[in-house]
């Protein structure tokens, strides 16, 4: 005859595995959010830096996109910078100021290599153009 203790034998291992899988999945999700927020903040700050650089006198507005990608590449990795598409141009706002606007679009790399880059990213940086 089997007692109640014998039927429960080994159930702790199964419980540990089931709970462990959930804890690891939750940890990876939190790490992915942290990576997304970090890369987003770096790209936003880099777009602002690129706009400020291109807003200097005697610097063409188109130089802002290249500067942004350079800063992103130094702050994160060349692969992250290669995954971004940045443009820079002059715009006039409602008050008549000439602005240099840098816009970047792309995706944040996933921690799961099989998923690729699923998290979209958009960032914009603006700076007032200096006079000649």
Give the tens place of pLDDT for each residue, 18-51.
999 999 989 988 998 898 899 999 999 999 999 9
How far is residue 32's CA from residue 107's CA, in Å, rounded to a whole number? Answer: 13
Pick 33 or 116 by higher pLDDT: 33
pLDDT confidence tier of residue 110, bands split at 50, 70 and 90: confident
Q: Where are the domains of the chain?
A: 2-128
Q: SS3 for 109?
A: coil
Q: Is the pLDDT of residue 102 over 90?
A: yes
75's tokens: 């702050």
> How high is the pLDDT of residue 65?
94
Indicate the DSSP class of residue 103. E
Q: SS3 for 66?
A: helix
Q: SS3 for 51?
A: helix
**What integer is the mean pLDDT of 5-12?**
74
Q: Alpha-carbon dihedral of residues 61, 63, 64, 66, nearest 10 degrees?
A: 160
How far is residue 132's CA from residue 128's CA, in Å, rounded to a whole number? Answer: 13
- Average pLDDT over the chain, rounded to an integer: 87
Q: Which residue has 């290599």 as its token pair?
A: 113
Q: Is the pLDDT of residue 108 over 60?
A: yes
How far is residue 72's CA from residue 9's CA, in Å, rounded to a whole number? Answer: 55
**What integer is the mean pLDDT of 120-128?**
93
């Amino acid at each position: 005859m089997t007692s109640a203790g014998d039927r429960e034998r080994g159930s702790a291992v199964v419980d540990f595995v089931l709970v462990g899988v959930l804890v690891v999945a939750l940890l990876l999700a939190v790490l992915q959010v942290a990576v997304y927020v970090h890369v987003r903040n770096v790209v936003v700050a880099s777009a602002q830096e690129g706009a400020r650089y291109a807003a200097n006198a005697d610097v063409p507005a188109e130089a802002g996109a290249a500067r942004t990608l350079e800063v992103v590449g130094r702050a994160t990795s060349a692969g992250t910078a290669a995954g971004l598409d940045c443009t820079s141009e002059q715009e006039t706002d409602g008050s008549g100021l000439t602005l240099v606007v840098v816009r970047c679009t792309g995706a944040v790399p996933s921690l799961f290599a099989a998923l690729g880059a699923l998290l979209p990213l958009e960032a914009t940086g603006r700076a007032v153009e200096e006079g000649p």
